[in-house]
Amino acid sequence: MARLVFALNQSLDGYVDHMAFAPDPVLFRHFIDDVRGLSGTVYGRRMYEVMRYWDEDRSEWDEAERDYGAAWRSQPKWVVSRSLKSVGPNATLVNDDVEAAIRGLKARLDGEIEVSGPELAAGLAEMGLVDEYRLYLHPVVLGGGKPLFAGPRPRLRLVASDRIGEDVIRLTYVPAQ
């Protein structure tokens, strides 16, 4: 049975904004290895549209970016959206009975399935489907924006903390029982 993991970068004050800060080379390599090891990723529409950047290699990419793009394209993706009519390569649209679809993925697959997108993660957490939270804390204060936790915050228990690269701390939590 697969575990559903919500992993996302955040500022010190709890906001997500992929344009405000970027991973250093060590953290980026960590993400490449992470994506390679996944059984797949569940995306909300907005996050999926951001990630479509990796659909095709770009001439200006360096080796690490090409590695990430290849890893991202190779992984199955499930996109939760009621507004999209189609999705890109290696992706499946989930537009109804999200809970049954995600429970089915967890039952059918082994390993880890990552969930990407704060609103989607909040909804899946309310359904009791998120097994682990990995918060990548960056030394940046944004002062506002999109919060990492959209909606009610689940009660969590810290199970690990790791320094990755020069400035980032990964905090790993599981739902408190």
Per residue in 49-104, pLDDT (tens digit) is 999 999 999 999 999 999 999 999 999 999 999 999 999 999 999 998 999 999 99
CA angle 138, 24, 55 (to 5 degrees): 105
Is 129 inside a domain boundary?
A: yes
Structure tokens at 168: 């980032």
Per residue in 33-43, pLDDT (tens digit) is 999 999 999 99
- Taking every pair of Cα atoms in the chain, the longest distance, rounded to a whole number of angstroms, is 49
Helix, strand, coil in percent for the chain, rounding step 5: 30, 30, 40
Is 54 inside a domain boundary?
A: yes
Is 61 inside a domain boundary?
A: yes
The whole-angstrom separation of Cα 23 and Cα 30 is 10
The boundaries of the domain holding residue 40 are 3-111+122-163
Which CATH number is 135's domain given? 3.40.430.10
Is 23 inside a domain boundary?
A: yes
Its pTM surpasses 0.85: yes
Is 25 inside a domain boundary?
A: yes
Is 27 inside a domain boundary?
A: yes
Looking at the structure of the chain, the number of domains it has is 1
Is 174 inside a domain boundary?
A: no
pLDDT band at residue 177 using 50, 70 and 90 as cut-offs: confident
Q: According to the 3-state scheme, what is the secondary structure of 42-87? A: EEEHHHHHHHHHHHCCCCCCCHHHHHHHHHHHHCCEEEECCCCCCC
Is 137 inside a domain boundary?
A: yes
